[in-house]
Structure formats: C-alpha cells, structure tokens
Structure 1
C-alpha cells in the first residue's frame, strides 16, 4: 500500500522541515545537516519514510527538544538512531530511564548551533540558534506565526508564565541584530506561513512587537 506521508521540505540546502506531527499536537520538526553530525529539532512522526529519509541524510547525532510538548516518540528515535537527546534541565524528568543531556542556560551542540533557554511557554522552553544562512532561530512554541504570518508569543491557558515568556523574548531581541537573525523556523502554526518555509526579516519583525501591550493580553484557548 503506498504511503501518504509527505516528504520533508527543503528550506535551505542544509535544512529540512518535516510535515506536522500529530504526536506533538501538529508540531513541525526540522533536520539541520551538519558536517559533524546532523541535528534533529523536535520529534517528527516516527514512521518508515522518516527513518529512510534520516538514513539517507547520514543519520542523527543529536535530537534537541524545544519544550515538553515536542517529545513525541523520542525513546524510539533514540533507540533506532543512537542520537544524543538534549533537553533543558527542568523538563528532563519527563524522560525517565533515558540517557539525556541537560543544560541550564545554554549549550553548544555544534560550532554552528547553540541552544538557549527561553522559559515561559513551559518551564524548560528553549530555542536553537543556527548561525548559517544569516542566522536561523528554531523557536518551538516560544514564538509562532499568527494569521498574518508574523511571529508572536501566544498566551494560552497552558502557558507556564506569561511575563517570563515576554522577558525571554526581550532577551532574544537584545542578543541578536538584523545581521545575525534573519529567519525563524517555528515549531507549529506553519500553515499560517501560506507556502513560505520560514519567517524572513526575523529580527525586524521581533523588534516591532510591543511587549508592554502584550503584558496585558488575556490568555486564549
């Protein structure tokens, strides 16, 4: 019986986006091709097409989880690929009896990729910064596209701490510049990008967000 799974889509020549995964509430996972070993950002659907694709790309060295909701079938992925699982220390308890690498503030995964703790959406929410292609930030659910395709923090009923999330956003804006942060790859809501494969002009769009107005925002569903 032929598979109906859509193949991962290339964003750049060293970056792919997987189809939304129901195991992580429709989240989007990514694969970064690195010379020293590939990095998987969050969990794609774990099926034969995904396994074959990852093998064709040279396997997975590290699986970085942006937040607790991105865990998916992480145990099966680690068992079959032998990858190192990296997660912020406050959410490592969700993976008992698994070998994981934890971090507090930051951890460097490769010469080009750095994980940054951005609490708020969940206690261990984190982003991954990749310095190629003008700078790409994989935001998990810390920042998501709205219906206009612009990146925003979303306050929902399950948000861990809204003001910390906004503080984390402010820290990212202080850290980067238009030259070092040109693209965002969100971990969900990618349908709002309307065919685009990333959010461009990333720093400029983040700098336009009104943090004071966002502080007063009421939680959504």
Structure 2
C-alpha cells in the first residue's frame, strides 16, 4: 500500500481506454503533469512512464494482469519507479544515458534502439533530455508513445516543444527528422504524447500522425 500522491479529486479518475487495449492515466503531478499509458498484450503488459500510485491505479494495473515492462521515455517521467518495480516485479527499460538517475534499481538499458518483440520497439530520440526515447507499437497502423519529445501545441498538432529545460534543441529537431525517415504514413497512424494532453480537447490521441509531422517546417524551428 502506498500513500496517495494526488489530490482527492484526481484520484477518483480511472484510466480510460484510448485505442484498442491501450489506456491513458490521468496526468500525474509527480511528473509535472505527465500522462502515462498502459498497453495490455498477450506478450506482457507495458507501462509507459509512471502514473500516480493511488489505489485506483494500482487496482487497475493488477486487474489487467500487472506489468511486465515499465518503459521510461525520459528522466522527468520516473516518478515512483522504485515503488512500481518493487510492487509489480516489472522490468524497467530506459535509454542508457538516464539510467544513472535510478541508483540501486535493476534496469535494462539500450543505446540506439531496442526491439522487445515483433510489435514493440524503443527508439532513442535525444533532445528534450539526453536519453529521451519513444516507443513504437506496430498495431493499429502504428502508435508512437512520444513522451515529451513530441507534444500537442495549442492547436492540438504534434510538435517538438522547446522549454527552459530542453537539453539540446538541434538534436531534438534531428530526432524528429529521423522518425520521419524511419516511418511512413502506413506505419505511424497515431501519437500518444506524454504531456499537454489537455490541448487535444477531448480527442484521445493524435491521428494522421505521420502526415502532421511531415507538415512541420523544421527550418523555422532551428
């Protein structure tokens, strides 16, 4: 049993389904309002970034078979990683440059890419932070869990967002270019962003993801 980490009003909200067998958790104040996701799969469930550890979320995770993998998209999404691993005996996945921030934990690291199985790949997309990474789920036309590498702007369009804490802006733009080279409209249908989900105004995901990213004028961002 863990203490509630959110206000009573937010702990009453349950994770909601956004795509088939994919759920989004309410924003977590432990991760500055980050949105976590959960993929329920026969090959083992994947939790993407840390939700709050209130009882509703713990019960939800257990009722769907627990967690096999906890994938952290960047250092700001770590939340209560230690408690989650202890409670669910899950494997923690993180890009190697962020792993030092989890001392004492057993973690699996990767450099450029890590293929978990036929449907799931982790991709290093540095810029927002040194080890910022995305998860590509090759179902439903391709779903990219982008962390804070790509988030919706005020118009709900996916963009790289420069902040005071951005590690390396040109690398972040280069990481976006690499994703456009890696995917096609047929393999990147949706983006599930790790922040700013309120800007989607009720939409559950960003659709037509590849076309929206390809429409960005990258030169104006540099």
The TM-score with structure 1 as length reference comes to 0.95
Of 107, 128, 136 in structure 1, the residue corresponding to residue 135 of structure 2 is 128
The count of corresponding residues between Structure 1 and Structure 2 is: 215
In structure 1, list runs of 5 or more residues that go unmatched: 216-221
Report what 1:152 is aligned to: 159
Instruction: Say if 2:87 is the partner of 1:80.
Output: yes
Instruction: Say if 2:21 is the partner of 1:14.
Output: yes
Report what 1:112 is aligned to: 119
Deviation per CA, 1:101-148: give whole Å up to 9, x if none. Answer: 000001122321100000000000000000001100000000000010
Report what 2:12 is aligned to: 5
Instruction: Say if 2:44 is the partner of 1:37.
Output: yes
Of 199, 202, 212 in structure 1, the residue corresponding to residue 206 of structure 2 is 199
Deviation per CA, 1:127-185: give whole Å up to 9, x if none. Answer: 00000011000000000000100000011111000000000000000111111100000
- Given that 2:11 and 2:56 are in contact with CA atoms closer than 8 Å, whether structure 1 keeps it comes out as no
Report what 1:52 is aligned to: 59
Q: 1:174 aligns to what SS in structure 2?
A: helix
Cα distance in 1 between the residues matched to 2:51 and 2:118: 24
- Given that 2:10 and 2:26 are in contact with CA atoms closer than 8 Å, whether structure 1 keeps it comes out as no
RMSD: 1.2
- Given that 2:143 and 2:191 are in contact with CA atoms closer than 8 Å, whether structure 1 keeps it comes out as yes
The TM-score with structure 2 as length reference comes to 0.95
Q: 1:3 Cα shift?
A: 8.2
In structure 2, list runs of 5 or more residues that go unmatched: 1-7
